[in-house]
Amino acid sequence: MGEPRFILALDQGTTSSRAILFNRGGVPFATAQREFAQYFPQPGWVEHDPNALWQTQLDVAHEAMRKAHATAADIAAIGIANQRETTVLWERATGTPLGPAIVWQDRRTAAHCERLTASGAGDRITQKTGLLIDPYFSATKLAWLLDSIPGARARAARGELAFGTVDSWLVWNLSGGRRHVTDLSNAARTSLLNIHTLDWDDELLGLFDIPRALLPELMPSSSAFAETDAALFGAPLPIGGIGGDQQAATFGQACLKPGMAKNTYGTGLFLLMNTGEQPVPSRHRMLSTVGWQFDGRTHYALEGSVFMGGAIIQWLRDGLGIIERACDVQALASQCTTSDGVWLIPAFSGLGAPHWDPYARGTLMGMTRGTGRPHIARAALDAIALQTVDVLSAMEADAGISVSELRVDGGASQCDLLMQIQADLLGRPVVRPEVAETTALGAAYLAGLQTGFWSGLDEITRQWRTERRFEPSMSQDERTARIQEWHRAIDHVRAWGARPFSAVS
């Protein structure tokens, strides 16, 4: 038998599950993808069926292997990248979920977060976790499940239940229920991990009222996490790498030195800057988080998380119906050179970094009788780019570093017009890599390094190559004016959902 040819990357995202087989050159050889249902039972609530996450991920893994005519002998290891913060609670004895997966976008715990803030816990939580108090993170979602499912708290205290972010849920199922683990990059998104001690924190567990018995074992991002049940792929396969999707994308973009940054244009926008081996506290409402732990060294990152990125384009398609396919947005927006004073504030699930306002609401403003579909499409692309400008500006102020270029990935990064708008409004180059699937690639790299499929970080750095570089062409005066107008529009929608409606007589 020859050497294994591939790493199998499982990329479990917010709207679909993908599997990609990467060869030794870090190039995708075979890909499969499957969407699954999104559930919105109440305004601000977003749910998934945990079994659908698992089944679609398993199905695409098999499909990718069939496309490559690959067997278990061809695969050196499995790497997992996953949507973060999404919360699953299940029975240890049966593996049965006790309820829906509460998705990272879900805002149902806003009131719980307000109570925590009012109690004065905010500074302590931020000091230990690097995070803010917000419904985005897992801890209040888990508390909600424990409080809402009859008997769940008592069962959790008895050790009958297991909590996990999506990586833990996948490993549990892949291993036939034998392994309940997570990596530090995912654990750092729960609000329960102390990013300084790199352990679950008793004080945090007390603040959020979470029993320790629920929690998975903590492991480095490149580790021997588990072996798959032999029945799944014909033979056991090692699971060697796990990374939360944005940390995995940063690793896949080879942002391996302090000051390097990438932005992922997926459902949301996620900008991460490598800050080295010490966490950088934020003064501008960024998140300080674990990037990855590899070879005994922990790398940290500053992160700005924006809830609506590529999802804005989906809304143009599915909500407004002004485009038929997401890729049509470029042609429509190209019909005008500016949005002609139209601003789209995409606060459909509140505002993330740097505003962190769960009560802001999506708003389209500045329209006249001359406003048409192209202006709205252009405003949508502007909104994606300007949210990124806000995040990077705050991040640079925190780290005291000026980013020389922004590496980009994710579905919307394939829109050339958006990338040029981004370069113009940032005032610095935007660089798109040859391999666009950087999230899956990062997970593959973490697994491949653990198993010796790749020799080390130098080999990974050499494999990263530019596909296209977008240079800024906008004047500084115009850039400044556009950003100031954007901030004026943002101010109009802050706390909108918290305002009472006036009675009409």
| Binding-site residues for sn-glycerol 3-phosphate | 14, 84-85, 136, 245
Q: Which residues are annotated as a binding site for ATP?
A: 14-16, 267, 310, 314, 411
Q: Which residue bears the tokens 């038929």?
A: 324
Q: Which strand (E) or helix (H) includes residue 190?
A: none
Q: How far apart are CA 166 and CA 120, in angstroms?
A: 30
Pair of tokens at residue 292: 């990855």
The string of DSSP letters for 335-353 reads: TSSS-TT-EEE--BTBB-T
Cβ count within 10 A of residue 464: 19
Q: Which residue bears the tokens 């985005």?
A: 136
Q: Which residues are annotated as a binding site for glycerol?
A: 84-85, 136, 245-246
Q: Which residue bears the tokens 């990263």?
A: 464
3-state secondary structure 390-430: HHHHHHHHHHCCCCCCEEEECHHHHCHHHHHHHHHHHCCCE
Torsion of CA 271, 275, 277, 279, to 10 degrees: -80
> Quick one: residue 177, left, alpha or beta (phi over 0 = left, psi -120 to 50 = alpha)?
left
Q: Which residues are annotated as a binding site?
A: 14-16, 18, 84-85, 136, 245-246, 267, 310, 314, 411
Q: Which residues are annotated as a binding site for ADP?
A: 14, 18, 267, 310, 411
Tell me whether the omega of the peptide bond preceding residue 220 falls within 30 degrees of 0, making it cis.
no
The string of DSSP letters for 304-369 reads: EEES-SHHHHHHIIIII-S-SSGGGHHHHHTTSSS-TT-EEE--BTBB-TTT-BTT---EEE---T
Q: Which strand (E) or helix (H) includes residue 294?
A: strand 287-294
Pair of tokens at residue 130: 């690097």
